[in-house]
């Protein structure tokens, strides 16, 4: 369940037999606007099912166990989380948030913010486009669906800052990349991504 090296230098997903220190197929093909991503676990059962419960079935109490897995990853691989000025959870569109009642990325981010003592900024990045559920779309559709979905509320808070985006899952990287793009165009120095799980790389 826990992600293990060798990691892709860009997205940290397990490279398997892919040549070490070279980007995975996904990262070499796509233009990703974040500087790097960390994935704590593999997106496979039983975690896969638990993430589903967490997102769609109100099992918000899982955020405690999930954040422990994320903390383990940082400590085990000595990831430099101290470099970040603040964390930003990937926001939901207000309509989606209302339906669900909570934002699962915010729940993870608030645990991590407390554990690592790094500020949380939740009013900065907003989702202005109510996109379709990415998991129901093809790889290509995901990129079109998410384009232009995020806006920055206070660009002056972003300028020259190192920002860590928090999300539950890294798949194509389209969502994180689009959020990173918005932050970078507002002047962010570094944008990292930290997710609970990453899908396995295709061969």
Residues making contact with Zn ion (CB under 5 A): 8, 10-11, 24, 27
Of 10 and 127, the one with the shorter C-beta distance to Zn ion is 10
Q: What share of the chain is helix, strand, coil (3-state, %, to 5)?
A: 40, 20, 40
Contact 37, 26 (CB under 8 A): no
In whole angstroms, the minimum distance from the beta carbon of 8 to Zn ion comes to: 3
What is residue 164's DSSP assignment? E
Residue 118 CB coordination number (10 Å):
17
In whole angstroms, the minimum distance from the beta carbon of 75 to Zn ion comes to: 22
Of 112 and 193, the one with the shorter C-beta distance to Zn ion is 193
Q: Report the b/e string of 19-34 with b at 16+ CB within 10 A.
A: eeeebbebbeebebbb
Of 8 and 47, the one with the shorter C-beta distance to Zn ion is 8
Of 24 and 70, the one with the shorter C-beta distance to Zn ion is 24
In whole angstroms, the minimum distance from the beta carbon of 7 to Zn ion comes to: 8
In whole angstroms, the minimum distance from the beta carbon of 11 to Zn ion comes to: 3
Of 29 and 52, the one with the shorter C-beta distance to Zn ion is 29
In whole angstroms, the minimum distance from the beta carbon of 9 to Zn ion comes to: 8
């Amino acid at each position: 369940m826990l992600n293990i090296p060798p990691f892709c230098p860009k997205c940290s997903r397990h490279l398997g037999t892919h040549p070490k220190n070279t980007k995975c197929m996904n990262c070499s093909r796509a233009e990703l606007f974040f500087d790097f991503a960390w994935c704590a676990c593999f997106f496979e059962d039983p975690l896969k099912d638990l993430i589903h419960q967490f997102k769609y079935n109100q099992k918000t109490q899982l955020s405690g166990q999930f954040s422990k897995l994320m903390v383990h990853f940082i400590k085990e691989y000595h990831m430099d989380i101290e470099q970040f000025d603040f964390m930003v959870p990937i926001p939901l569109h207000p309509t989606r948030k209302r339906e669900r009642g909570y934002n699962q990325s915010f729940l993870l981010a608030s645990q991590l913010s407390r554990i690592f003592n790094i500020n949380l900024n939740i009013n900065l990045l907003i989702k202005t486009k109510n996109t379709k559920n990415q998991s129901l779309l093809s790889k290509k559709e995901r990129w079109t669906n998410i384009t232009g979905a995020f806006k920055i509320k206070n660009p002056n808070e972003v300028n020259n800052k190192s920002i860590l985006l928090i999300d539950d899952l890294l798949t194509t990287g389209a969502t994180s990349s689009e959020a990173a793009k918005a932050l970078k165009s507002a002047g962010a120095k570094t944008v990292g991504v930290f997710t609970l799980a990453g899908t396995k790389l295709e061969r």
